[in-house]
Structure 1
Amino acid sequence: MEVHRCRFVDYIPSAINALTFAPNTTRPVLACGRANGDIEVWNPKNEWTLEKVIPGGKNTSVEALAWAHQTTLTEDEDFWDSEKEKQAAIKKLVKTPPRLFSAGLNAVVTEWDLTTLKPKRSVDSHGGAVWCMATNHANTILAVGCEDGCVRLFDIADGELAFIRSFDKQKTRILSLAWSQDDTVMVTGSANSSIYKWNVELGRVVSRMTVDRVSGEDTLVWSVKILSNGTVVSGDSLGHVKFWEGESTTMIQSFNAHGADVLCLATGKDGNTVFSSGVDRKCNQYRFVDQPAPKKTGKNGKSGSINGKSATIAKWVLAGSRRFHSHDVRALALDESRNVDALVSGGVDVSMVVCPAAQFPENNQRRLTYVPQRPIISISKSKRLMLCRQEHGVKVWRIGKSAAPVQPFSEIEIGAHMELIEPQQAILEMNFKDDHNLTAAALSEDGHWIAVADTEEVKLFRIDEHPSKPGQLVVKKQKSFPGVRGTGAHYLSFTPDSTRLVVASTDSHVAIVDITQWESGNFDILRKFGQHRGTGGKDNASMDVDEDEGLTGDEGQVETIVFMAVSADGQWLATGDLKNRIFVFNLDTLQHHATLPVFDAPLTALHFHPYSPTLVIPTASNVFYLFNVETRRLTDWSREFSSDKHFPTKFLGLKDKIQGVAFNPARKNTLLVWGANYICHVDLDQGVGDRNAILNVGKRKRVDRAQDQLRKQQRERRMKKYADLGIVPMPELESGKAVVVLEGKKGRKVLAASTNRLEEEKEEEINFQLLHKFQPLMFVDFIGDNSLVVVELPFIKILSSLPPSYYRASYGT
């Protein structure tokens, strides 16, 4: 098999600026804000699953994030006619999904619609760039710290987002803020070496805490927190972590534990644990523990004690330290609940690192993959073209060709390099001036169509070769292309015959667009399906907007469409959403065909078998299912083996999720499933094999070689022993089923002998073949018989694009 290892794709992930967990009154979920404006929503279940990515835009770097989940009523007691009605309202509040707010240097505070992934509402900060943001503990007020030195409060109770008031203005920008447990006090960190304590009701400074200064320059207080007992914690640009008594605002302790700026803090719920990190990449843990008090000697020379026991005093101590990142750490988030127990960190090196908070710093960390979890690459197999979606554009390459091998692939050494007769070539680059980041892009199989989308609109482009200039392409935007009711899209796909475009719109409709009449400027929407809006299978048959107005569905059933697959013959379409619902549509009849059962674990991909009506459905538990869409049931193989009770243990234990599926045309009943750090070959004509087998091909070869060497040594020792005893070996002795003749005084005796002290073990059956030789994978698929395209993103490529990391020379270096 020839493998095209593509490392030329121009994709660099963005730095992480903010991390925050949702309140513990709702399901565990983490929001990650990046420098390009994207906001990722992660679910800690199933070894951290990425649920959705809210696209950012130009000049929308996320500097602060905040979740809000209101669980208390704001109405007076007289508002409710009965206690039952009141309890029902509380129950409804608790069941309401959490709300997500973001802000940045563009001076806008935005609430996001977590279904359409579009802004739900936005308000001006009235004070320039927003550096920090936090909700009170009642989740009814949002406080933001602004560039103009003012803290502003916004009402977010009962679904609102409205400006309330501002605090007294300071002479410098507000870099950090935190609420007290009773929401009556707030502390802010400023750029003038000061920490201010505020009375929230009056909006005035109550007291001021001053941090150290060097050479008369102001110190930046990058982060502040208030513990459950009222203690204030601060981290500043001198690398100091300070603890302040909340009432008197006097400093209790100070730690010079960092070599540079402390950019972020995270605190435990009990108030006895604090984490800090920053530019020097260290993550420190501080604990509030009891220590023996200093011994005081009395007049009689004896040390003092209380009731015969040594006196103790509670103090903060530096309990542990780790370095997880290669560059500045800009954000920390902590969730100590039993089902999460995670300290998450992120920064300039683009990766999130998760480690168990309870066992810090002993336990190992896990680095979440930095490659996209949703596909950003599309290929044309027949034309050998590959498209990569970027933030504000797309780029197309023609894949290179290798010289034909002079011997069969089975005889070529694994890993051998093949000569290229045609190198890869970048043939097209398109950049768009829109403010929004792209959410989807697709390349048609015939190579003549490119579709791109953001959350606002879908665009279609025709690609043709210049009639008089061979090799030069002409790109023409189809201005008459209507899109889908003016909405954007989360997913795009062309049918294999390049005659239709399938659009998964931001309002959770699936639209089938005919593009065969493009020359006349007609793009008819053949059908729109509303199953992902909870319409119970009722869908409209035409493109008439007026007929579609009533297709609203139950808002509680509307969910984001995140996966789509079209069968190789163009007959079947499968779509999946974040409620784990999978719907299958017949593109020949333009009818809804089947609704699949809801699987226990979240979906991670959808892919059709190219030679049968079988849909492959990988899940976050690393179990994949095979569903025959014609018979509307799981295949025999899947019914027998698709379960965590049957799949190999090593495969189920892989941390990285299955991100895609590929089929080799030369071996029609085998498949490849791949994740960020592995490719696994599965033969569907076999069972799953031994559950406890070693799946890693390289490791298994090393183990086999070691076992063969051991058997050889044992055999040589036995042969020598037989010779010393006078046993005459027969020719069959080496085979393991030997007959030996023993000469003795009583005559000749025939005995059965074995060449191995242990019984020959039955060779274990292994079906799942794992390969870990590639760099983090962005895309894997076949473009022909035994011709595999692998798109890699080595971390060294990301490092080369990053600024230098913090370094302090030590004495003697």
Structure 2
Amino acid sequence: MAGTSSQAGTQLDVHRCRFVDYVPASITAIAVPPTPLPRVRSQSAPSNSAHKGATRFPPIAVGRGDGNIELYEWSGVGETAQASSQSWVLHKILYAPVPSKVDNLIWVLRDPNSLRPGQTPILDDLRLFSAGGGSELLEWNLESGTIARTLSSQGGSIWSVSANASSTLLALGCDDGSIRIVSIADGVLEHKRKFDRVKTRLLSLAWGPSRPPTPRKPVTGAADSDDEDDEDDEWTDSWIIAGCADSTIRKWDFTSGRVLDRMVVDRQRGERTLVWAVAVLGDGTMVSGDSLGYVRFWDAQTCTQMQSYRLHGADVLCLAVGPEGRSIYSAGVDQKICQFSRVQVASGNTTSSRWIHSSSQRYHVHDVRALATWPMFIPLPPSVSLPPTTGRIISPLLFSGGLDISLNIKPCMVPLEHGDTVKVHNPLKTNPATSFENSWQARRTFHVRGLVHVARTARLLMLLRDKSVSVWRLTRLQNGTVEPDEIGLRTMLEDPDAEQGGWNKVLDMQLNVLTNLCCGAISDDGQWLAAADMYETKLFRLQHKGENIKPRRVKNLTSELLPHVASGSEDEVSTGATAMAFSPDSSKLVLGTSLSSYTLVIDLANAHDDLDNIRVLRRFEHHRMRDVILQPVSQAPRQLNGVHTDAVAMDVDEPSSSEMKSDAIAATSYEAHIRRISLITFSPDGQWLATSDIDRRVHVYNMDSIQHQCTLPSFESPVVALAFDPARTHHLVIVLATNRIRVFDVEVRTFPPSARAVCERAAPQLAKLRETVVGATFTRARHEPGTPAPGLVLWAYDWFCQIKLDAEAPAPVPSKRKKRGRDGDVADEVAPALSEDKELLALGTAAQQQGPKGKPLVINTQYRPLLFLGFMGDGDMVVVERPYVDILASLPPAYSKHKYGAS
């Protein structure tokens, strides 16, 4: 490390690694949850306490080409519940069996009667189904992240899946030309009936408008009137249309299962046209997109073509209907997304509606495979009126994705029909505009957390793919450095093909796995490597022979782990893991098990010579606990029913109400409540271990005594990164999905006021960044007395910055805001002052650090897109980039049509 004082800027040798050949999977499906149908009679849904505090934005499911399904949740909370720069952030990944893919993805309501009409469902209210080109329909267990049930189509490959508006039936379009109706009401999954077969594949499906229940006069004195009302309040399905592979669209009657009509699309040079997408509007109008690039509108009564537009240069692969039913969006191979709007046209004394092409946008660079809108459109007949929207009006959103791997989100508000002028808010905070034509899209990149790991001492770099692991050795260059650039960074590995070398691949392993790999780790000394899928963890001892590495598998690991993960119930037993980490001295491996959410501490100290000499030191169950009861430490019992509480008491020093719940301790119920462990990290001295799960809970353990130390109060948004400060190894840094930072002292169980003030100064600038933090690390793993304290480095997909947590906290400045204290008194709220930039230093020169006043830190965007940012034991910074052009170069050529000079 090129050492200089903090006044002269921090200079670092940077290993800029672009040789990591990771190719993320493309997006093949996007699903947005439906909302309950309106109730014809005045019936109130039962209140659900789980919805208290929930946002109005639903979870989003994204299917990938490798079979994985990503679940996203809204990051905004409190004041940002209605708008957030980070919008949706990754909640969890459902890892797919090997091999598989996702072509169709469907959300349905678990119990529609438990929700109010128009209420946004949360994850517990939903069921998720998928199909991937085979003959099996999969239902996913959203808690464990595994497949709950499968159902054979009995008709060959499943080409299309669609759910009815009531969330009671699924329609499967099969390879044999028949529609299978599957019942999913009341939690079942079983075949119900089959429609008449046609001699072609059914590429796409859409349900017609549901018929509302017929109101009937109330009957007094009837004992069973409630049961009859429930039956009469059911919506009935009318018909289904299917886009076929023989240039036709067919319409089936739901009651009889017979074909009602057959609509024919154009052919070109005698070849069959494929109808890839169909949709139905509330008035019965049908919309289709085909392989000729046409978007066609069909009359509901006569099934004749009303209008057609050929705006796409190639296949139209997907359609989406706007939430209000007055806009249509089409996309496909030519990367363009077209918007169609319904307008009223006057002709004499009459007016009629007509569809026009209103806008086109091209912000994708490859095929667009999936479109979805929020709120999800439900085709309701014109006779059914929805309740008026109350409160703040939020712009609807359009989700799109395809071969260019990124999920794009764009506002798509259309003008109101009656010309009303209302203020509409953009929840993405991209720009004030909310129309599809004028708004800016937000982009959610592919998942990068946990893909790359480094062995600090051994100077090894590990890449985790779906089914394989690769390891490179980074060597120090003798003459490969250049002078420090304008931000104090000396790039060492600029060109992956440089003659002087600097890296070489030393290991490439193909693993035999049941699902795609979930997590991996490599020890700092380079002696151990571990990788896990959902069902098995594999541990390898790495033998270094010259420049090469030979792995030896620890074969008895599974048998050692099985007694500690078996729960005695009928639940599936698995030794897989969703998070893992080696201790700094490489003597321990900690696993967060996949299906049971145990934290297992494995001793490796005696296994260097004898690979069979490994044992589980301790099993912690804190991430399986359902409820957390908080009370003052002074009142905390030391025993519960005569059993020691295992040091779960926690003293919190005056936390603000916006940060967490009241101070306390945690006494928990021991009913199993599986929540996936997402993060595990050690302190640099190996004394402390911190773990976090997707329920925003953080637990800290003392590794000297192998005991639970404390439980942090639940945070207001998901935890995305954990790191211990090398200068104060008992200080734990927690980074949230909103890019806010918390620092917690695990020894005294308090939030240090000085660190809190520094973090609050950085909060406004970090909160404006669109990309959520992926990782947190420190510039050095060890802190030597008399040297400047290492700085905290936060990094995301396209930026990183440094924050010095040891900066002197500014003097508190009373603000005009008031808040009520816990004892009922109204006190002034102390707000941190924005003073000189010397407290928050980015990786840059003194001139930059003295930049514009009021700018507390400098965001560095020199390196992007980032797969990893970390530091070696000698202080060298490792930056792993995966240039977007390299990813695109690995894909099939994109559609391109020369407009000028074509022969």
Shorter-chain TM band: 0.7 to 0.9
Indicate conservation of the 8 Å contact 2:842/2:849, yes or no. Answer: no
Tell me what 1:262 maps to.
316
Deviation at 1:130, TM superposition (A): 1.6
Query: Hey, what's the Cα distance between the residues in 1 that align with 2:618 and 2:409?
Result: 44
Change (3 A) 1:431 1:540: farther
Residue 599 of structure 1 is matched in structure 2 by: 715
What's the % identity of the aligned pairs?
A: 36
Q: Which residue does 2:469 correspond to in 1?
A: 394
Q: Does 1:285 align with 2:339?
A: yes
Question: Is residue 33 from structure 1 mapped to residue 33 from structure 2 by the alignment?
Answer: no
Compared CA separation, residues 540 and 422, structure 1 to 2 (3 A): farther
Decide which of 721, 725, 732 is 1:615's aligned counterpart: 732
Q: CA deviation at 1:637?
A: 2.5
Residues 803 and 175 (structure 1 numbering): CA distance in 2 closer, same or farther, change over 3 Å? same
2-side partners of 1:700 and 1:353: how far apart? 38
Letter in 2 for 1:107: S
Q: How many angstroms does 1:690 deviate by?
A: 4.1
Q: Tell me the number of residue pairs that the alignment of Structure 1 and Structure 2 aligns.
A: 713
Q: Is 2:511 the partner of 1:432?
A: yes
Q: Which residue of 1 aligns with 2:459?
A: 384
Shift of 1:499: 1.6
Amino acid aligned to 1:805: A
1:701 shift after superposition? 6.8
Which amino acid letter does the alignment assign opposite residue 586 of structure 1? N
The aligned residue for residue 612 of structure 2 is 521
Quote how far apart the aligned CAs of 1:255 are: 1.1
Structure 2 SS opposite 1:50:
strand
Pick the structure with greater CA Rg.
1
Q: In the alignment, what sits opposite 1:590?
A: 706
* 1:197-346 correspondence to structure 2 within 5 Å: 197-293=251-347, 305-306=348-349, 311-336=350-375, 338-339=393-394, 341-346=396-401
In the other structure, the counterpart of 2:538 is 459
Deviations 1:287-323 (A, max 9, x none): 1111243xxxxxxxxxxx44xxxx5331101010000
Question: 5 Å matches for 1:86-101?
Answer: 96-101=124-129
| CA shift for structure 1 position 138 | 0.9
Give the drift of 1:163. Answer: 2.1
Q: Which residue of 1 aligns with 2:591?
A: 503
Select between 195-204 and 320-329 the one with higher mean Cα deviation.
195-204
The answer to whether 1:533 aligns with 2:650 is no
Residue 406 of structure 1: how far off its partner (Å): 10
Deviation at 1:795, TM superposition (A): 0.2
1:355 corresponds to which of 410, 414, 417: 410
Cα root mean square deviation, aligned: 3.3
Q: Distance in 2 between matches of 1:139 and 1:380?
A: 50
Deviation sequence 1:48-70 (CA, Å, 0-9, x none)? 21111111243311000000113
* Partners of 1:154 and 1:164 within 8 A in 2: yes
Cα 1:289–1:636 change in 2 (3 A) is same
Kept after mapping to 1: 8 A contact 2:803/2:842: no
Instruction: Check the 8 A contact 1:455/1:490 in 2, yes or no.
Output: yes
SS at match of 1:149: coil
Query: In structure 1, how many angstroms separate the alpha carbons of the residues matched to 2:543 and 2:64?
Result: 37
Q: 1:444 aligned to 2:523? A: yes
Matched with 2:568 is: none
Give the 5 Å matches for 1:575-724.
575-611=691-727, 612-643=729-760, 646-647=761-762, 649-665=764-780, 667-686=788-807, 687=809, 690=834
Alignment match, 1:797: 886
CA distance in 1, matches of 2:301, 2:482: 81
**1:101-138 per-position Cα deviation (integer Å, ceiling 9, x unaligned):** 11012321111112221111112222222221111111
2:679–2:693 CA contact under 8 A, matched in 1: yes
* CA drift at 1:613: 1.0
2:556 aligns to what? 480
Within 5 Å, which residues of 2 pair with 1:548-559?
Answer: 553-554=670-671, 557-559=673-675
In 2, are the aligned partners of 1:283 and 1:321 still within 8 Å (CA)? yes
**1:184 positional shift:** 2.3
Q: Which residue is 1:748 aligned to?
A: none
Q: CA deviation at 1:139?
A: 0.7
Per the alignment, residue 581 of structure 2 pairs with: 493
1-side partners of 2:192 and 2:861: how far apart?
A: 56
- Equivalence map 1:723-742=2 (5 Å): none
Partner AA of 1:626 in structure 2: V
Q: Is the 8 A contact 2:13 2:491 kept in 1?
A: no
Question: Which deviates further from its counterpart, 568-577 or 390-399?
Answer: 568-577
User: Could you tell me whether the CA contact under 8 Å between 2:514 and 2:533 is conserved in 1?
Assistant: no
Aligned to 2:419: none
The answer as to 2:159 corresponding to 1:42 is: no
Confirm whether residue 102 of structure 1 aligns to residue 142 of structure 2. no
Give 3-state SS (helix, strand or coil) of 2:859's partner. strand
Shift of 1:97: 2.8
Alpha-carbon distance in 2 for matches of 1:30, 1:133: 17
Structure 2 match to 1:142? 170
CA distance in 1, matches of 2:243, 2:95: 30
For residue 35 of structure 1, what is the amino acid of its counterpart?
G
Q: Deviations over 1:523-566 (max 9, x none)?
A: 32221111111166999999xxxxxxxx99545x4311111111
Give me the whole-angstrom Cα distance separating, in 1, the residues matched to 2:846 and 2:766. Answer: 14
CA offset at residue 700 of structure 1?
11
The alpha carbon displacement at 1:353 in A equals 1.3
Question: 1:414 deviation in Å?
Answer: 5.3
Q: Cα gap change, 1:640/1:15 in structure 2, threshold over 3 Å: closer, same or farther?
A: same
CA deviation profile, 1:129-179 (whole Å, cap 9, x unmatched): 222111111111122212222221222122222222222222111100011
Do the aligned partners of 1:70 and 1:94 also contact (CA within 8 Å) in 2? no
Q: Is the contact between residue 240 and residue 256 of structure 1 (CA under 8 Å) also seen in structure 2?
A: yes
Q: Which residue of 2 aligns with 1:760?
A: none
Question: 1:403: Cα distance to partner?
Answer: 2.6
Cα distance, 1:71–1:765 mapped onto 2, change above 3 Å: closer
Query: How far did residue 244 of structure 1 move?
Result: 1.1
Give distance in 2, aligned partners of 1:652 and 1:407: 34
Aligned partners of 1:65 and 1:101 also within 8 Å: yes
Q: From the superposition, tell whether residues 316 and 701 of structure 1 become closer, same or farther in structure 2 (CA, over 3 Å).
A: farther
Matches of 1:393 and 1:95, distance apart in 2: 31
* Greater shift in the superposed pair: 259-268 or 521-530: 521-530
Pick the aligned partner of 1:6 from 17, 26, 31: 17
* Contact 1:527 1:541 (C-alpha < 8 Å) held by counterparts: no
Between 1:648-657 and 1:182-191, the stretch displaced more is 648-657
2:182 alignment partner in structure 1: 154
Aligned partner of 1:186 in structure 2 is: 240
Q: Which amino acid aligns with 1:352?
A: L
Give the Cα separation in 2 of the matches to 1:488 and 1:439.
Answer: 9
Please give the alpha-carbon distance, in whole angstroms, between the structure 1 residues aligned to 2:547 and 2:124.
Answer: 56
**Where does residue 100 of structure 2 map in the other structure?**
60
* Structure 1 residue 210, shift from structure 2 partner: 1.1
Write the distance in 2 (CA, Å) between the matches of 1:171 and 1:641.
69
Match of 1:771 among 860, 863, 868: 860
Q: Which residue of 2 aligns with 1:728?
A: none
1:376 partner letter = L
**Secondary structure of 2:766's match?**
helix
Deviations 1:685-727 (CA, angstroms, capped at 9, x unpaired): 335874899999999979999xxxxxxxxxxxxxxxxxxxxxx
Preserved CA contact (<8 Å) 1:453 1:488: yes
Letter in 2 for 1:40: E
Tell me if the contact between 1:178 and 1:226 (Cα under 8 Å) persists in the aligned partners.
yes
Structure 1: gaps spanning 5 or more residues: 74-85, 294-304, 543-550, 706-762
- In the TM superposition, what is the alpha-carbon distance from 1:398 to its structure 2 partner? 0.6
CA contact (8 A) 2:481 2:491 kept: no
